[in-house]
Amino acid sequence: MNHPGTKSKLYLLLVVFTAVTASSAEPDTAKAKPFVDITVASGLDFVHFNGMSGELYYAEMMGSGAALFDYDNDGDLDIYLVQGAMLGADKKIAAATFPPQHELPLTDRLYRNDSGDGGSDRLRFTDVTQ
């Protein structure tokens, strides 16, 4: 007898098995490059707050928005990052499953790309939100 959700459970199991198998494969060291997180060193200081309070709103599962564009017309791509908020008309920050990591009020952020300034090859952003 087929139970509701059996297909989705099997599909999920297959996806997890495939992901685990693929991640355990030996990397080709000639092609593989180590991932280095340079977020903080580059000047980007942003943690998205998704407003999760356990209500299982669709937006709790979605990622944040972002835009790459040349806002100052200098030829470099700048970054605009969209911040979240509590979901639900009567929800307060105290009800958040994971509290925000930035000071309140939470705002979107605009980072200017200053990488080309001074002849440096290092990636550098400046928060110009204000």
pLDDT digits (tens, 9 = 90+) for 27-72: 566 677 888 888 888 999 988 888 888 777 787 777 788 999 999 9
Cα–Cα dist 130/32, whole Å:
40
- Residue spans of the domains in the chain: they are 29-127
pLDDT digits (tens, 9 = 90+) for 80-123: 999 988 887 788 888 888 888 888 888 999 999 998 755 567 88
What global pTM score does this model have? Answer: 0.66
**CA 47, 48, 51, 57 torsion: positive or negative?**
negative
Tell me how far CA of residue 38 lies from CA of 19, 31, 113, 115, 122, in angstroms: 26, 21, 14, 13, 10
For 78, the enclosing helix (H) or strand (E) is strand 78-81
Cα–Cα dist 107/130, whole Å:
10
